[in-house]
Amino acid sequence: MNVIQEEGARPIKAWVERREDGTLNIEDSALQQTKNLARLPFIASNGVALMPDVHAGIGSTVGSVIATDKAVIPAAVGVDIGCGMNAVRLTLRADQLPDSLAKIRDAIEAAVPLGAGGGHTKSRVPHGHGGDDIHPVWKEFHNTRIKERLGDGIFEKAWNQLGTLGSGNHFIELCLDESDQVWLMLHSGSRGVGNKIGTHFIERAKRNMEKFFINLPHQDLAYFPEETDDFNEYVEAVSWAQNYALENRRQMMMACVDALRDNIPTAFLPTTEAVNCHHNYVEKENHFGRNIWVTRKGAVRAREGDLGIIPGSMGQRSYIVRGKGNPQSYCSCSHGAGRVMSRTEARRRFSLADLIAQTEGVECRKDDAVLDEIPGSYKPIDQVMANQADLVEVVHELRAVLCVKGA
Catalytic position from the list 127, 200, 278, 335: 335
Closest to 275 (Cα-Cα) out of 326, 319, 337: 319
**Does 280 count as an annotated binding residue?**
yes
- β-partners of residue 184 are 88, 174
Active site residue 335: yes
What are 297's strand-pairing partners? 64, 280
318 is in an annotated binding site: yes
Long-range CB pairs of 355-362 (<8 Å, 24+ gap) are 359/314, 359/315, 359/403, 361/401, 362/315, 362/400, 362/401, 362/402, 362/403
Burial of 156 (0-12, 13-18, 19+ CB in 10 A): middle
In sign, the C-alpha dihedral spanning 360, 362, 363, 365 is: negative
Q: Using CA atoms, how far apart are residues 104 and 255, in angstroms rounded to an integer?
A: 12
194 is in an annotated binding site: no
Q: Cα–Cα distance between 181 and 162 in angstroms, integer? A: 29
Q: How many angstroms separate the first and last alpha carbons of the chain?
A: 35
141 marked ligand binding residue: no
Q: Report whether 312 belongs to an annotated binding site.
A: yes
9 is in an annotated binding site: no
Contact between 150 and 196 (Cβ < 8 Å): yes
Please, are residues 12 and 4 in contact by the beta-carbon 8 Å criterion?
yes
The response to whether 325 counts as a known ligand-binding position is: no
Q: Binding residue per annotation — 120? A: no
Q: How far apart are CA 61 and CA 298, in angstroms?
A: 8
CB–CB of 193/161 below 8 Å? Answer: yes
At residue 164, what is the residue type? T
Report residue 240 CA to chain centroid gap. Answer: 16
Whether residue 214 is annotated as binding a ligand: the answer is no
Q: Count each helix (H run) and each strand (E run) in the chain, helices first.
A: 11, 17
Residue 377 marked as a ligand binder: no
Whether 47 has a binding-site annotation, put simply, is no
Is 311 among the annotated ligand-binding positions? yes
Q: Is 206 among the annotated ligand-binding positions?
A: no
**70 labelled ligand-binding:** no
Q: Does the annotation place 335 within a ligand binding site?
A: yes
Q: Was 314 annotated as part of a binding site? A: yes
313 in a labelled binding site = yes
Q: Known binding site for Mn(2+): residues? A: 80, 170, 187, 279
Q: Known binding site: residues? A: 80, 169-173, 187, 279-280, 311-314, 318, 335-338, 405
Q: Known binding site for GMP: residues? A: 169-173, 279-280, 311-314, 318, 335-338, 405
Active site residues: 335
